[in-house]
Amino acid sequence: MTAENSTGARTLVVHYSAHGHTRRVAETLTRALGADAFVLSPAEPYTDPDLDYNDPRSRVSREHVDHGLRHVGLLQDTPDGFADYDVVLVGYPIWWGEASWALNDFVKHNDFSGKTVIPFCTSFSSPVGASARDLSALSSSGDWRPGTRLEANINADGVRRWLDQLGVKA
């Protein structure tokens, strides 16, 4: 069963969160929109030392340098009932100006035909940059909207203002 809001659109909030910031935003979106949620979980989870981008030997640093290491398998890359959703919000942390590569298999392995896809990222300092455009390039379908950087403490009113700016009735 998928969540339907007052406009009849079925909305899903998908996210990967490394340190909890993207999770907080995704939870706010889910509550504000009356949406369903799907958490992207790497088959080999990132540990705190893996995420230390200041350590050139950390997993993310090695993956950043060697693109061949960036395949991050997911425990599940297609949400149950994915075909039933009209609007899909996709959230991620920014890593070196890019969407966390934990998103890649989700985007590559799903058909976004007939869906409005709204990318959002969280970062303390980095802008969204080309991350949303790069994700949409991994997909051959869907109406991909411009990406937006959202503050980790965004509230329901802020979510609604942002969606209104995009012209999306979710």
pLDDT digits (tens, 9 = 90+) for 103-155: 999 999 999 999 999 999 988 888 898 999 999 999 989 999 999 999 878 88
pLDDT digits (tens, 9 = 90+) for 15-73: 999 999 999 999 999 998 899 999 999 999 999 999 999 999 999 999 999 999 999 99
Question: What is the 3 state secondary structure string of 78-135?
Answer: CCCCHHHCCEEEEEEEEECCEECHHHHHHHHCCCCCCCEEEEEEECCCCCCCCHHHHH
pLDDT digits (tens, 9 = 90+) for 83-107: 999 999 999 999 998 999 999 999 9
Fold of the CATH domain 11-166: Rossmann fold (3.40.50)
The confidence score (pLDDT) of residue 1 equals: 44
Residue bearing the bigger pLDDT, 119 or 159:
119
For the chain, the structural domain boundaries read 11-166
